[in-house]
Amino acid sequence: MKLFCVVFLGLMSLLLCSCIEGEEEIFLNKDGSARVVATYRVPSMLLSAEDAQDLRASIEAEVGGVKNLKLLTNKVEKHNGDRVIMLEIETDDVSTLEGSLSEHDPAVEMTKGDKILHAIVGRILVNREGLKVHLNREIHLSSLLDEYLGSSGASMLGDSAFRYTMYLPHAAESSNAHEVSNDGRTLTWSHQLADCRNTPINLSIVTHIPIPWWIYALLGVVATGLLWALFVIVAKKRVAARDTLAQEE
C-alpha cells in the first residue's frame, strides 16, 4: 500500500506539473469601456466533460445575466488531454465588473462549476475619487486547490502559474504589477499557483479617469461664450462712458 501511494503521488506529479495555466488580458479604453479575454488550461482528470458543461452553464447564468456585461465567448474545449476554458467579456463601463458575480447563498451547495468560476474571478472593487479610479481584485484559490488536489496538491503544481496583463490608455499612477512596460500603460502580474495556497492573488492599480473629448468641446464652447459676454459688457461700458463724457462737455 505504501509503494502504491508513492507511485500514485509520483504519477500525479507528472500529470499535474505545469499543466494548470491561466492567462488573462484586460483592455481598458479611454471612454471607460473594458474587455476581458481569458484562457485557462486544466487537466481533464481534474475537469470532466460534465464539470466543463456545468462551468459553461455557471458562466452563462452569472456573467451573461449581468446588465451592461456582454458575454462574447464562453467555451470549454478539449486539447491534448486538457480542458481549455475560453472566456471573453465586454462592458461599456469598467465599474460594471464590480460585484459581477452574485453572492453565494451559504444554504445552497455550490457545484464544481460555481466554485471554479467564483475562485478564478475573485472579488473586484472599483472606487472613484475625483479624476482617479482605484481597481482592486483579490483571488483566493486555496480552497479550490485543497479540495481538488488535496492538502499536498500545491507541491505538485510545479511552475504552473496564472498571468494577468492589463492594457491602459494612459500610464498607471501606481500599481503592484510585477512588470511595467509601454511607458506605464501595460501592467503584468504572474503568480505561481504553488504559492496561492497560503497567499491570495492581488491585483491593484490607481489610474486617471480619461475625460471624453466632448467634455473639452463643451468647455471650449462655454469659455468662448463667457469671453464673448465679457467683450459685450466691456464694449457697452465704454460706449456708456463716452456718452457720459460727451454730455458733461
Give the model's pLDDT for residue 77. Answer: 92
Please tell me the total count of domains within the chain: 2
Domain co-membership, 230 together with 142: no
Are 123 and 226 within one domain? no
Helix axes 142-149, 112-121, angle to 10 degrees: 140
Share of the chain above pLDDT 70, in %: 73
State which residues of the chain have pLDDT below 70: 1-19, 99-108, 130, 151-156, 209-223, 225-226, 228, 239, 241, 243, 245-249
Alpha helices for 72-199 (secondary structure H): 112-121, 142-149
In a domain, 152, yes or no: yes
Residue 123 grid cell: 472579488
Q: Are residues 200 and 225 in the same domain?
A: no
pLDDT number for residue 95: 79
Termini Cα distance of the chain:
122
pLDDT given at position 213:
45
- Among candidate residues 211, 135, 165, 129, the one with its CA nearest the CA of residue 22: 165
101 & 48 share domain: yes
Q: Are residues 202 and 225 in the same domain?
A: no
Q: Does 195 fall in a domain?
A: yes
Interior CA angle at 245 toward 242 and 249, to 5°? 135
Is 249 a member of any domain?
Answer: no
- 240 plus 197 within the same structural domain: no
Residues of the domain holding 57: 2-208
CA atoms within 13 A on the CB side of 67: 0
Q: What is the per-residue DSSP string for 24-55?
A: EEEEE-TTS-EEEEEEEEEETTTS-HHHHHHH
Q: Do 37 and 119 reside in the same domain of the chain?
A: yes
Check: pTM over 0.85? Answer yes or no.
no
Cell reading at 220: 471650449
- CA dist 46 and 61 (Å) reads 23
Residue 182, classed as helix, strand or coil, is: coil
Coil, strand or helix at 44: coil
CA 248 to chain centre: 75
Q: Residue 225 has which C-alpha cell?
A: 461664450
Same domain, 127 and 176: yes
> Residue 152: its pLDDT value, please?
60
Query: What is the reported pLDDT for 128?
Result: 75
Q: Domain check: are 42 and 7 in the same one?
A: yes
pLDDT of residue 57: 92
Residues 227 and 134 in one domain: no
- Does residue 28 fall inside a structural domain? yes
Q: HSE-up of 32 (CA within 13 Å, CB side)? A: 17
Paired residues of 37 in beta bridges: 25, 88
Q: Quick check: is 80 in a domain?
A: yes
DSSP conformational letter for 249: -
Shared-domain flag, residues 35 and 145? yes
Helix ranges (DSSP H) in 69-199: 112-121, 142-149
Q: Give CA–CA dist 81/55, Å, rounded.
A: 18
Are 79 and 39 part of one and the same domain? yes
CA distance 62 to 60: 6
